Chains A and B, each alone.
Chain A
Amino acid sequence: MTMETGLLLPYLDDEVAAPFWAACSRNELVVQTCAACDKSRMPPRPMCPHCRSIAVKWEPTSGFGTIWSYIVPHPPLLPAYAELAPYNAIVVALEEDPTIRFVGNLVTSANGAINEIDPATIRIGEKVRVVFTTIDDVTLPRWVRAD
């Protein structure tokens, strides 16, 4: 994956988000959930907007979803992205709760490049499944077609 070094990556020690990225490194897609009222939320944040509890748990997900939207960026871009452009970026709505969404990329396999799928074939509503790829010290979720 040296090709993608130079991408913008998250910090792994963020007070709120660290458990999400730690789960990714175990190849698990989790969603922050209120330990008091059981409502899930994405992106993670310190307080539950429904009940104001700060107690959280991280629930496993099915890892399946549908493409909610997608884009195909072209230059001018930061160098690491320009090298890959045009590539796809997608928003995935989680199968069990479509209001839980993740930004990601559609690939053909876990370590596939984000520019390997012909963008003209991507459709909103396509079913996808999470996979994981590791870049430097960060494991990112990616998505492959599930149908």
Chain B
Amino acid sequence: MAGLVKDRTAIVGIGQTAFGKGLADSELSLACQAISTAIDDAGLTPGEVDGLSMFSMEKGREVEVARNVGLGDITYFSELGYGGGAGCGVVGHAAMAVATGQCNVAVAWRARKRASKTSRPWSQVPGRIAGHWQWSRPFGVVRPVDEIAMLTRRYMHEFGATRDHLANVAIASRKHANRNPLASMYDKELSREQYMEGRWISEPLCLFDNCLETDGALAVVITSAERARDLAQPPAFIHAFAQSIPQQHQVMTNYFCEDPLIGPAYACASRLWERSDIKAADVPVAQLYDAFSSLIPLSLEGYGFCERGEGAAFTENGALEWPTGRLPTNTSGGGMSEAYVHGFNLVLEGVRQCRGTSTSQVEGAESCLVTSGEGVPTSALLLRA
């Protein structure tokens, strides 16, 4: 498979707003600000943008974004569902649209105001529950953290993972955030003792196993590889892209299939590596979706950095930490310590690693894996310098 996508497009611009809690601006405004910054970063003009690829959960719709930012005629637009699973997906869809000539310059973004309590989806569920949630919520498995805690407990039981392993993830992210002045947790260190004393949210997951709640927006600009070479920034080429809804998957409460610990990452990874000249063993740095700490060992296994059941042990000896770890992971601080904007900040950090501009830059990084939500229909990108 020669591939219509491989290296045919690149991320040429990135933009983000400040991260915070209770930001005054609307989601639409935040989206427009991030997109505008990304267009400037690329050295393009708004009139050249003719493609839009966004999360279906976006509050600001395509027409609003286009007429605020002053975009040109939009000839491609699409939306992807499943929240945190969509981050790499919207970028990949933009890349496919550019590669197939449906548009020339596309933007993909995520804007979110999550930090206010009323914005949390689990706090807005109605009194009666329909669809697949009726098999879990009546029993008090109400929040995303409860849903993933159930899989985490089983994972710990089957493979001997411990809270120390989960702490390895949280601490690595925090150390990276402590090097990133734009990260929400830039000035807050996290020790193992603090982690162990963190209050429970849903046992076996404590406060520090959870991502942040963040207001903010991030955007990327995608265009053809040819065009990318003439623009303002070093291109981050989209080398490979994949999505997956694995067989018999159920969103978040994936307790009902044959082996619930084989999550969406496995099916996504097999297609990603099939389409890639770069293999997992050659990837020097990764941005792995981290709404919860336990998703990291599951993703390390799913994406083939280790064997099944070895993801927890992989995190030992600082393996996830810049600069000396075997696989520096979430080098901007990720969802747990930089910002949780449905994992879209991971895409921008992947671009920075390829550009050589991360605050925890892996020396000579020629590629970076970026993944989206584990536990939901997902997606992944392999970016290369």
* Same complex origin of A and B: yes
Determine whether the beta carbon of B154 is less than 8 Å from that of A9. Answer: no
Name which residue of chain A comes closest to B149, CB basis: A71
Distance between A3 CB and nearest chain B CB, rounded to angstroms: 13
Residue among B128, B146, B153, B257 making CB contact with A73, cutoff 8 Å: B146
Q: A58-71 interface mask toward B, CB cutoff 8 Å, 1 = contact, 0 = none? A: 00000000001111
B67 interface residue, CB < 8 Å from A? no
Distance between A92 CB and nearest chain B CB, rounded to angstroms: 10
CA of A25 to CA of B137 in the docked complex: distance in angstroms?
Answer: 18
Determine whether the beta carbon of A69 is less than 8 Å from that of B127. Answer: no
Determine whether the beta carbon of B138 is less than 8 Å from that of A138. Answer: yes
Distance between B116 CB and nearest chain A CB, rounded to angstroms: 13
Q: A9 with B153: in contact, given A73-B142, A86-B203, A140-B138 (CB under 8 Å)?
A: no
Q: Which residues from chain A contact B255 at a C-beta distance below 8 Å?
A: 68-69, 91, 101, 103
Q: A74 with B157: in contact, given A9-B129, A103-B135, A140-B139 (CB under 8 Å)?
A: no
Determine whether the beta carbon of B138 is less than 8 Å from that of A124. Answer: no
Q: Which residues from chain A contact B135 at a C-beta distance below 8 Å?
A: 42-43, 102-103
A132 interface residue, CB < 8 Å from B? no
Determine whether the beta carbon of A124 is less than 8 Å from that of B153. Answer: yes
B194 interface residue, CB < 8 Å from A? no
Q: A69 with B153: in contact, given A77-B142, A99-B258 (CB under 8 Å)?
A: yes
A1 interface residue, CB < 8 Å from B? no
Q: B128-155 interface mask toward A, CB cutoff 8 Å, 1 = contact, 0 = none? A: 1110111111111111001001110110
Contacting residues of chain A (17-49) with chain B, CB-CB under 8 angstroms = 17, 42-43, 49
B232 interface residue, CB < 8 Å from A? no
Name which residue of chain A comes closest to B141, CB basis: A89
Q: Which residues from chain B contact A119 at a C-beta distance below 8 Å?
A: 203
Q: Which residues from chain B contact A8 at a C-beta distance below 8 Å?
A: 125, 127-129, 133, 137-138, 142
A14 interface residue, CB < 8 Å from B? yes
Q: A1-13 interface mask toward B, CB cutoff 8 Å, 1 = contact, 0 = none? A: 0000001111100
Determine whether the beta carbon of B256 is less than 8 Å from that of A73. Answer: no
Q: Which residues from chain A contact B201 at a C-beta distance below 8 Å?
A: 73-74
CA of A89 to CA of B200 in the docked complex: distance in angstroms?
Answer: 15
Q: A101 with B256: in contact, given A89-B141, A138-B138 (CB under 8 Å)?
A: yes
Q: Which residues from chain B contact A102 at a C-beta distance below 8 Å?
A: 135
Q: B244-274 interface mask toward A, CB cutoff 8 Å, 1 = contact, 0 = none? A: 0000101001011110000000000000000
Q: B119-130 interface mask toward A, CB cutoff 8 Å, 1 = contact, 0 = none? A: 000110101111
Determine whether the beta carbon of A84 is less than 8 Å from that of B250. Answer: no
Contacting residues of chain A (112-126) with chain B, CB-CB under 8 angstroms = 114, 119, 124
Determine whether the beta carbon of A71 is less than 8 Å from that of B150. Answer: yes
Contacting residues of chain B (150-202) with chain A, CB-CB under 8 angstroms = 150-151, 153-154, 157, 199-202
Distance between B24 CB and nearest chain A CB, rounded to angstroms: 24
Name which residue of chain B comes closest to A93, CB basis: B255
Q: A11 with B128: in contact, given A43-B256, A101-B256 (CB under 8 Å)?
A: yes
Name which residue of chain B comes closest to A87, CB basis: B140
Determine whether the beta carbon of A74 is less than 8 Å from that of B203. Answer: yes
Q: Which residues from chain A contact B125 at a C-beta distance below 8 Å?
A: 8, 78
Q: Which residues from chain B contact A51 at a C-beta distance below 8 Å?
A: none
Residue among B149, B150, B256 making CB contact with A42, cutoff 8 Å: B256
Q: A17 with B134: in contact, given A9-B127, A71-B202, A71-B203 (CB under 8 Å)?
A: yes
Q: A72 with B139: in contact, given A10-B128, A10-B134 (CB under 8 Å)?
A: no
Determine whether the beta carbon of A11 is less than 8 Å from that of B130. Answer: yes
CA of A69 to CA of B294 in the docked complex: distance in angstroms?
Answer: 15
Q: Which residues from chain A contact B127 at a C-beta distance below 8 Å?
A: 8-9
5 A-B pairs in the complex with CB atoms less than 8 angstroms apart:
A69-B151, A72-B202, A72-B203, A89-B150, A114-B139
User: Which 7 A-B pairs give the minimum distances between C-beta atoms?
Assistant: A72-B203, A10-B134, A69-B154, A71-B149, A8-B137, A74-B200, A103-B136
Q: Which residues in B have some Cβ–Cβ distance to A below 8 Å? A: 117, 122-123, 125, 127-130, 132-143, 146, 149-151, 153-154, 157, 199-204, 248, 250, 253, 255-258
